[in-house]
Amino acid sequence: VFTEHGVFADEFIVSHGAQTAIGHDMGSGPIAPNEPICLDLFPRDRESGCYADMTRTFVVGEPSDELREYHKLCREALDRAVAAVKPGIPGKDLNRLACDIFEEHGFPTLLSKQPGEVLKDGFYHSLGHGVGLEVHEEPALGRGPGELVAGDVIAVEPGLYRNGYGGCRLEDLVHVTEDGAETLTDYPYDLEP
């Protein structure tokens, strides 16, 4: 499919089960029914050299109630953050929007953790990053400074995880326009394909 669209991917992530709770685990071993599967694709355009980035989480079989909750909250965080994207907004404000949703439902985030604490559960990474000639570049959507400008392309990727179980991450590629945002990703979010 990639070659039909003029893109290629040297690697991609297909993690499953407990692997989905480990950041950027490429995935290995057989996939079992009813476990979370995290598919993270980051192909590169042959002509421009620019990357895309998209993640979906789904289950072949029946998702657990826990995964259904993670998926619902990740979708809510994604929608809320993307709706707030516009030139001039600090990336940390978008990150805060996602963290607020997770914290309201009792999940720890990098913003609520204690100094020195290492999170293995909850939302343990930033909301996202810029995408262009590198798959991870500025602007950062985390705790640091920096505002979005028109023309930026960002990956917005909220996630919830539980060590030993797995988790959910949903990621869209978003173009910052003069007056808001345009979501470039056009793929369903279905937990059960």
pLDDT at 8: 77
H or E segment and range at residue 96? helix 91-104
CB environment 68-79: b (16+ within 10 A), e (fewer): eebbebbeebbb
**Which stretches of 12-136 are assigned E, i.e. beta strand?**
13-16, 36-41, 44-45, 54-59, 128-130
Mean pLDDT taken over the chain: 94
Q: Please check whether residue 191 lies inside any domain of the structure.
A: no
Q: Please check whether residue 193 lies inside any domain of the structure.
A: no
How, if at all, do strands 172-176 and 153-156 pair?
antiparallel
pLDDT at 75: 99
Q: Please check whether residue 189 lies inside any domain of the structure.
A: no
Q: Please check whether residue 192 lies inside any domain of the structure.
A: no
pLDDT at 96: 98
State the amino acid at position 36 in one-letter form.
P
pLDDT digits (tens, 9 = 90+) for 68-87: 999 999 999 999 999 999 99
Least confident of 88-102, 114-128, 170-184: 114-128
**For residues 55 and 13, what is the distance between their CA atoms, to the nearest angstrom?**
9
pLDDT at 142: 92
Q: Please check whether residue 94 lies inside any domain of the structure.
A: yes
Indicate which CATH number applies to the domain containing 125. 3.90.230.10
Domain range for 125: 3-183
- With 0-12 CB in 10 A as exposed, 13-18 as middle and 19+ as buried, what is 188? exposed
Q: Please check whether residue 97 lies inside any domain of the structure.
A: yes
Q: Per-residue pLDDT averaged across 33-47, rounded?
A: 95
Number of domains in the chain: 1
Higher model confidence: residue 166 or residue 10? 166
pLDDT digits (tens, 9 = 90+) for 83-118: 999 999 999 999 999 999 999 999 999 999 988 999
Q: Please check whether residue 157 lies inside any domain of the structure.
A: yes
Report the SS3 class of residue 29.
coil
